[in-house]
Structure 1
């Protein structure tokens, strides 16, 4: 498992050129980077195709072209790339959050999920944040990683534009209007070549589409790994599976159920979980909170705990005995803890320690994820 994890991170780093978060989700946002031309969605499958060298030009594809044109920030567009040469070169990508000049993507290569935040500012497109092994959804647009700073594109978009990266690698625009074949068609693309000590990476960007292909080789040319855009589906949600825990019909223990949840760009996680807690789909008695209860805030803190705060209705409108209340609280904690991958959850009401006629917690006291009462 450790080897798979390390290999996943290496491949993601090479093919995503995409700390622990705190804070809450954003309610809404406006995209300031958009595309003038849209590409129709497609799920056509075919064998991996190689790029053509016949259409290379030394002239810019568009003298006034900007990064906004060649890497549009778009909501609700699901991308999938087919890989060759390595099992982790195949991946999916989705824009989870978008606000002003920053966009947050999650990439899933079958071995791990990685979150990255890109920023378009001062004529550069830069990866400002990256967090591997992130299987939950949380707004990280305000985060900056100490080890980030890789530049994906730099203006002017013209042959010979070059830059250095914090890792020590050097990048340069090495071709304009290079014909690149993908499963969606053949397009003129900008080629960016990044050279490191032992490796060479080429990335291809198409106007109105963004990244369409990546090519990774070693300096000796002994092996080659590619990722090529296979599908680009607009108005598509991000699909997640959330394992939920709730009292059984007889309030004797906890049952569990996997629920398919769909998130669009900028959807607020706590709102989605509020609806889920009010009614588990397909389970008549699957309820964790009354309809009047809401989640005020939800986030993973630097101490490794998840903090979840409810309004007063969680207590005032619960209407159950002590055993039922105990199972409800444990169901909430098990669901949240499993979703975030943590062992402890601090549950509060209106930012005060949870206190009812049956249970009382101290300031900062956490409940642990516990599967003892889960019915097998």
Structure 2
């Protein structure tokens, strides 16, 4: 055994002193080794792949305003989806993800060397800027520099994620693309994700380990620039009858672009009923200071400017109906059964109606 080791080792030393590398056209280098077999020395050419770094992680996940990404998929009701950037601030982007089964929110954070998912929540059917919220839990790194084959890291759930190909040729509905391939190996299955410079995520393939043959594929089919997302919102107004005032519901299609202020949209529509004969809830001077949800989504709230009370020209009955219309509009949008209505962060108080601190309007 010792004699065999010496015969192999000595030629290797000679090779390192006497041979030079020869480059070829495939971005590899040829290394010549000498080995001894049956008393004869032979030269063996080995091909060694030269590592290449292809840009930065941030190149593969652009933040683009007012752009709709439409995907088609197979294998799951969630495979086909539409994605839209609701908000972009500095190095964070909040995405709305719409499938046939649900609507969810993802927040992506990126630096030059990392692209990460920092927040994700399902069953979100309203528009709310969550970018500045504090996020609990570990971020999930989607792309990590250096961009080269063999770069490996661990996901927030403990799965192995790695770069397995660069400039991978893939076919999509928007054409042939050169993509970065990232593989995630988990307990339940394996996912291949494909990202393209200046476009972003274009394809994913998930194969389940437990259910053999189950494959979920999602693939880009359209990228629509300078696009708004349309929501149907239920607004409430007052209608006067011969004997009373009644609350009337109107469904209005509202267009939102990236970073659009939702308060302005609600202000405009509560001041301008879509059909004649309806009484607006706001006068032209009323401003919405804040609106949203609190108490883990159990209560929605709206805070109005002092003009809401100052310009109120109504008796007790009509005033109560106007408050209910505002509450139903906000409560329906955020899907809550209680609404906290305040004026300049103080309980509502007029000549007819006084609310206690923290008192809400209950929706029937």
Corresponding position: 1:366 with 2:360: yes
Separation in 2 of the partners of 1:276 and 1:206?
40
Deviation at 1:92, TM superposition (A): 0.6
Corresponding residue pairs, total: 312
Moved runs in structure 1, 4+ residues, more than 3 A? 57-60
For 1:227, the equivalent position in structure 2 comes to 218
Deviation per residue, 1:18-51 (Å, 9 max, x gap): xxxxxxxxxxxxxxxxxxxxxxxxxxxxxxxxxx
Q: Which deviates more, 218-227 or 357-366?
A: 218-227
Listed as ranges, the gaps of 5+ residues in structure 1 are 1-56, 371-376
For 2:122, the equivalent position in structure 1 comes to 132
CA distance 1:74–1:156, change in 2 (3 Å): same
Separation in 1 of the partners of 2:71 and 2:279?
38
Corresponding position: 1:285 with 2:269: no
Separation in 2 of the partners of 1:338 and 1:125?
35
For 2:252, the equivalent position in structure 1 comes to 259
Give the 5 Å matches for 1:153-164.
153-164=143-154
Q: Is the 8 A contact 1:202 1:216 kept in 2?
A: yes
Deviation per residue, 1:115-153 (Å, 9 max, x gap): 111111362111111111111101100234434511110
State the SS of the aligned residue for 2:245.
Answer: coil
Separation in 1 of the partners of 2:138 and 2:74?
27
For 1:269, the equivalent position in structure 2 comes to 262
TM-score (ref. length: structure 1): 0.80
Deviation at 1:111, TM superposition (A): 1.2
Q: Per chain length, whose mean CA-contact separation is higher, i.e. which structure has more relative contact order (CA < 8 Å, sep 6+)?
A: 1
Deviation per residue, 1:278-312 (Å, 9 max, x gap): 11334452511111101011121135212211011
Deviation at 1:191, TM superposition (A): 0.5
For 1:347, the equivalent position in structure 2 comes to 341
Q: Is the 8 A contact 1:248 1:285 kept in 2?
A: yes
State the SS of the aligned residue for 2:78.
Answer: helix
Structure (1 or 2) with the larger CA radius of gyration? 2
Corresponding position: 1:109 with 2:102: no
Q: Is the 8 A contact 2:65 2:85 kept in 1?
A: yes
State the SS of the aligned residue for 1:139.
Answer: coil
Separation in 2 of the partners of 1:200 and 1:286?
57
Listed as ranges, the gaps of 5+ residues in structure 2 are 1-48
Separation in 1 of the partners of 2:126 and 2:118?
20
For 1:333, the equivalent position in structure 2 comes to 327
Separation in 1 of the partners of 2:303 and 2:73?
42
For 1:29, the equivalent position in structure 2 comes to none
Q: Is the 8 A contact 1:129 1:144 kept in 2?
A: no
State the SS of the aligned residue for 1:89.
Answer: coil
For 1:70, the equivalent position in structure 2 comes to 60
Separation in 2 of the partners of 1:69 and 1:279?
44
Give RMSD over aligned pairs.
Answer: 1.7
TM-score (ref. length: structure 2): 0.82
State the SS of the aligned residue for 1:243.
Answer: strand
Q: Is the 8 A contact 2:206 2:217 kept in 1?
A: yes
Deviation per residue, 1:197-255 (Å, 9 max, x gap): 12001110011100000111113642111010011101101111111111114352111
Q: Is the 8 A contact 2:165 2:181 kept in 1?
A: yes
For 1:240, the equivalent position in structure 2 comes to 231
Deviation at 1:69, TM superposition (A): 1.8
State the SS of the aligned residue for 2:267.
Answer: helix
Deviation at 1:108, TM superposition (A): 0.8
CA distance 1:83–1:338, change in 2 (3 Å): same
For 1:183, the equivalent position in structure 2 comes to 173
Deviation per residue, 1:84-115 (Å, 9 max, x gap): 11222111111011011110001011111111
Q: Is the 8 A contact 1:78 1:232 kept in 2?
A: yes
Q: Is the 8 A contact 2:162 2:182 kept in 1?
A: yes
